[in-house]
């Protein structure tokens, strides 16, 4: 794998018919790794494109180079007449434009404007550098090189470090159509997970006995501990060792009618640019007070995906349930202990309590660079002693105060 933030260098040793291209990728704190790419040079001088095998990996907010090189008889044609085009595969037969270059003329499209540029590491380098990578950048990209008469293309897969999490809204399980599942994940700071991401999460121990939508329109669910209510102990319809069996697997319902059928969702999120923290008020707060509590600390109520990212990538561990933005109550456990919901790490859920129920805290998210208005602490109170209604203090006037 090619890691984010690495300086991609390239050298080419061309023989009469075969060339050997070495991509050296030093990774901070690790030994450098090499990718060897064999390129066949045709006698006719045809354009030959080669991308690095496997995938390149980064995280949200990172910078990554999608490696692509080409070779042909430059003496016969010259590099100025070569067109370089990058597209993203959005469906098996559908592409969206990312970047195009013809000589000195370069253009990025859509959300890639201002973030995409060529690496320009010598003649024959068509590698594309992506900055401030987003969740939506995940997927497969095609590098196409065209001269006056010939063209060739290669594929690069961009993967993201992150976490897969199951999700259903307050209305209950199996309530989401495919478009609704896409929106639900986006509202919780995520995207629908891919089948590859779900399979990797299952290999990491994810066990969830409710089927959910994936980004390709299929419906699946991962079972690490096989049991009768979760597809049984057999392996039919599973992706795993022995087709599932006693080892579990990813149960697969196949591609469904996304406009009419309803399931849960499996979402994916990546690295957080900001910070999630638990805020404990002086007294328990209902859901309506959670937003005011976080606002008093220059933050907003955390979304479900943000809490999962903080648990997985920032190792947030807190044995106290708190409000989240969707009205659910959850808490993250990195170091399992019996009094904190069992012996497996994960984000524990108390479901969707009544919004008037008072919880002992709230999980807040502070964006990068946002100041903390009350770094010394905070509490609840009535400014100036006011807020009386009918001889009793009015909860609507109950506001966060610095203490």
What are the tens digits of pLDDT across the range 214-267?
999 999 999 998 888 887 765 545 565 444 445 689 999 999 877 789 999 999
CB 163 within 8 A of CB 306: no
**Residue at token pair 């994810």:** 206
The structure's pTM equals 0.79
**Residue at token pair 């994960």:** 346
**Residue at token pair 């095609």:** 142
Task: Select from 213, 177, 169 the least CA-distant residue to 195.
Answer: 213
Instruction: List the structure tokens of 7.
Output: 């300086």
* Rounded distance between C-alpha atoms, residue 135 and residue 39, angstroms: 32
**pLDDT at residue number 40:** 39
Helix or strand (DSSP H, E) at 58: strand 55-58
**pLDDT at residue number 151:** 82
CB 119 within 8 A of CB 108: no
Q: Can you point out the beta strands (E) in 264-307?
A: 264-270, 275-279, 300-301
Residue 249 burial (10 A CB sphere; 0-12, 13-18, 19+): buried
* Rounded distance between C-alpha atoms, residue 34 and residue 253, angstroms: 39
Task: Select from 120, 141, 252, 245 the least CA-distant residue to 195.
Answer: 252
Q: Which residues of the chain have pLDDT under 70?
A: 1-47, 52, 72-80, 233-247, 375-403
* Rounded distance between C-alpha atoms, residue 271 and residue 314, angstroms: 9
**In the sheet that 64-66 helps form, which strands lie side by side, from edge to edge?**
64-66, 128-130, 116-118
**Phi, psi dihedral angles at 68 (to 5 degrees):** -155, 130
CB 151 within 8 A of CB 47: yes
* Rounded distance between C-alpha atoms, residue 133 and residue 120, angstroms: 20
Report the b/e string of 280-304 with b at 16+ CB within 10 A: bbeeebebebbbbbbebbebbbbbb
Residue 332 burial (10 A CB sphere; 0-12, 13-18, 19+): buried
**pLDDT at residue number 389:** 35
**pLDDT at residue number 393:** 46
Task: Select from 3, 30, 334 the least CA-distant residue to 161.
Answer: 3
Residues in CB range of 220: below 8 A, 6 or more apart: 195, 198, 211, 212, 214, 239, 250, 251, 252, 253, 266
Helix or strand (DSSP H, E) at 183: helix 178-187
């Amino acid at each position: 794998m090619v890691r984010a933030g690495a300086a991609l260098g390239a050298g080419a040793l061309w023989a009469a018919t075969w060339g050997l291209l070495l991509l050296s990728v030093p990774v901070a704190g690790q030994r450098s790794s090499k990718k060897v790419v064999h390129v066949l040079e045709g006698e006719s001088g045809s354009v030959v494109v080669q991308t690095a095998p496997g995938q390149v990996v980064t995280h949200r907010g990172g910078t990554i180079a999608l490696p692509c090189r080409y070779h042909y008889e430059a003496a016969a044609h010259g590099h100025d007449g070569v067109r370089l085009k990058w597209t993203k595969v959005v469906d098996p037969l559908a592409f969206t434009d990312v970047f195009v270059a013809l000589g000195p003329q370069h253009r990025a499209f859509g959300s890639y404007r201002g973030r995409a540029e060529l690496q320009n590491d010598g003649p024959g380098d068509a590698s594309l550098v992506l900055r401030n990578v987003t969740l939506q950048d995940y997927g497969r990209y095609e590098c196409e090189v065209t001269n006056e008469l010939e063209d060739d293309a290669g594929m690069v897969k961009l993967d993201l470090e992150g976490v897969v999490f199951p999700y259903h809204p307050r209305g209950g399980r199996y309530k989401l159509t495919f478009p609704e599942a896409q929106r639900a994940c986006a509202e919780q700071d995520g995207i629908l997970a891919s089948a590859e991401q779900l399979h990797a999460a299952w290999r990491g121990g994810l066990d969830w006995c409710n089927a959910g939508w994936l980004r390709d329109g299929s419906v699946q669910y991962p079972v690490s501990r096989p049991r009768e209510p979760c597809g049984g102990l057999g392996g039919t319809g599973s992706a795993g060792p022995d087709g599932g069996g006693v080892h579990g697997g990813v149960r697969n319902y196949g591609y469904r009618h996304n406009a009419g059928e309803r399931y849960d969702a499996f979402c994916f999120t990546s690295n957080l640019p900001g910070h999630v923290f638990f805020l404990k008020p002086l007294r328990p707060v209902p859901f309506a007070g959670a937003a005011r509590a976080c606002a008093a600390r220059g933050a907003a109520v955390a979304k479900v995906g943000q809490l999962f990212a903080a648990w997985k990538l920032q190792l947030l561990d807190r044995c106290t349930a708190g409000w989240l933005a969707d009205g659910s109550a959850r808490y993250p456990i990195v170091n399992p202990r019996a009094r904190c919901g069992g012996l497996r790490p994960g984000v524990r859920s108390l479901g969707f309590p009544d919004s008037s129920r008072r919880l002992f805290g709230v999980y807040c998210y502070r964006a990068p660079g946002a100041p903390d208005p009350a770094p010394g602490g905070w509490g609840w109170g009535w400014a100036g002693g006011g807020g009386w209604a009918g001889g009793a203090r009015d909860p609507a006037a109950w506001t966060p105060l610095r203490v």
